[in-house]
Amino acid sequence: MFKKFLAKTLVCMTVFLFVLSLGSAMAAPKEKKIMLKVPTCFSSALPGLGTTIPWVAERIETASNGSLKMKVYEPGKLVAPFEILGAVSSGKINAGYSISGYWAGKIPASPIFSAIPFGPEAGEFMAWMYYGNGMKLYQEMYDSHGYNVKVLACGIIAPETSGWFTKEINSVDDLKGLRMRFYGLGGQAMQKLGASVSLLPGGEIFPALEKKAIDATEFSMPAIDERLGFYKIAKYNYYPGWHQQATMFELLINKDVWNGMSDHQRMVIEILCKAATMDSFAYTEAIQAKAMKENVEKRGVKNMYWSQEMLDTFKGAWEEVAKEQAEKDPFFKKVWDDVSAFRADYKMWQTYGFLPRPEPPK
């Protein structure tokens, strides 16, 4: 009796799988095939920053049953890094990979969606983005400023270094007049402390250091900075990266293109970007210690840790920036109030759930 039951079950399953595959085969032609051409702000030689969107590109055709393809372009090959948002919005290109803080000159609130000084860290940042109001506000930001784009969070890394300097920084006085490449909201705090701040794309930083157009720079994590060769000129690498305790990256898709996709295609992209966010976090966390050790042992770099006095000074400058930006820009205030409220609630879990931080190295 059981054998008959098993045989019938197998026949039914076979028929079901055949019908399912036939249905998929019949449904597939209804999906318009789309090629996403994606210029990026980051060289593919940079782990985590430049490798995340190629990771998506390698999987998107298989995941979409061939209805989606993606071609990634190195910085400047299709569109200049700082022109990506406008080019995607206008339809000049149909997608782009960047970091929202690059649009700070046009949208004051944009850096909040990439990195916030003194936290949140990666776990808390993702919690706000995916399960707080982060992604809703992120899309609202582009919509309300007239950009015809769909935004997806697509990659995250943990703390960056605080910068590469040619001399020790022992007090705020050492920052005054210092010409430094610095990113985002942290850069505004550095300006408060007397530094002269510029924002350069990754590929332009080393030549600027070499020609002494800038005196110091921050860019990213040790294993990423290693590829750009800052250690050849600046031997003091400061930690912790108070200005970027976590950094989120974005995939921008022209909204008309996004709206023209099937539900299946949109879901594939959303799932791949979430997977890429997890992968970039795990990958970059795994490779930092080796780079830090080699910087010291092979390159003569000194890993420095800011004094509590300096960290308090940076935090004070940042709090001034946040207050001023919220007073000047209503949307900045809206986002800042929201993330601050989320963090206030999260604080209970953070306080009780995690071990105390270890003492910083002497």
pLDDT tens profile 315-359: 999 999 999 999 999 999 999 999 999 999 999 999 999 998 777
d(CA 103, CA 107): 6
The two tokens of residue 222 are 């040790």
Q: Are 214 and 177 in contact (CB under 8 A)?
A: no
pLDDT digits (tens, 9 = 90+) for 21-45: 344 444 445 899 999 999 999 999 9
The model scores a pTM over 0.85: yes
Is residue 61 very low, low, confident or very high in pLDDT (cuts 50, 70, 90)? very high
154 alpha-carbon distance from chain centroid: 7
Within the chain, which residue ranges are assigned CATH 3.40.190.170? 32-158+246-286
Residue 170's Cβ-count burial label (10 Å; 0-12, 13-18, 19+) is exposed
Which option is the CATH number for 32-158+246-286: 3.30.300.30, 3.40.50.720, 3.30.110.60, 3.40.190.170?
3.40.190.170
Positive or negative torsion for Cα 232, 237, 241, 246: positive
Cα-based distances in Å from 247 to 13, 221, 276, 301? 47, 10, 14, 24
**For residue 52, is pLDDT > 60?**
yes
Provide the pLDDT for residue 26.
Answer: 43
Q: Are 36 and 71 in contact (CB under 8 A)?
A: yes
CATH of domain 163-244+299-353: 3.40.190.10
Provide the pLDDT for residue 18.
Answer: 39
Average pLDDT over residues 262-285: 98
Average pLDDT over residues 65-69: 98
**For residue 106, is pLDDT > 80?**
yes
- Cα–Cα–Cα angle for 142, 40, 226, rounded to 5 degrees: 120
**For residue 16, is pLDDT > 80?**
no
Average pLDDT, the chain: 92
**For residue 303, is pLDDT > 70?**
yes
The H or E element containing residue 70 is strand 68-73
pLDDT digits (tens, 9 = 90+) for 202-244: 999 999 999 999 999 999 999 999 999 999 999 999 999 999 9
Percentage with pLDDT > 70 across the chain: 92
Q: Are 70 and 62 in contact (CB under 8 A)?
A: no
**39, 52, 56, 152: which is closest to 97 by C-alpha?**
39
pLDDT digits (tens, 9 = 90+) for 254-273: 999 999 999 999 999 999 99
Within the chain, which residue ranges are assigned CATH 3.40.190.10? 163-244+299-353
Average pLDDT over residues 130-152: 98
Provide the pLDDT for residue 362.
Answer: 66
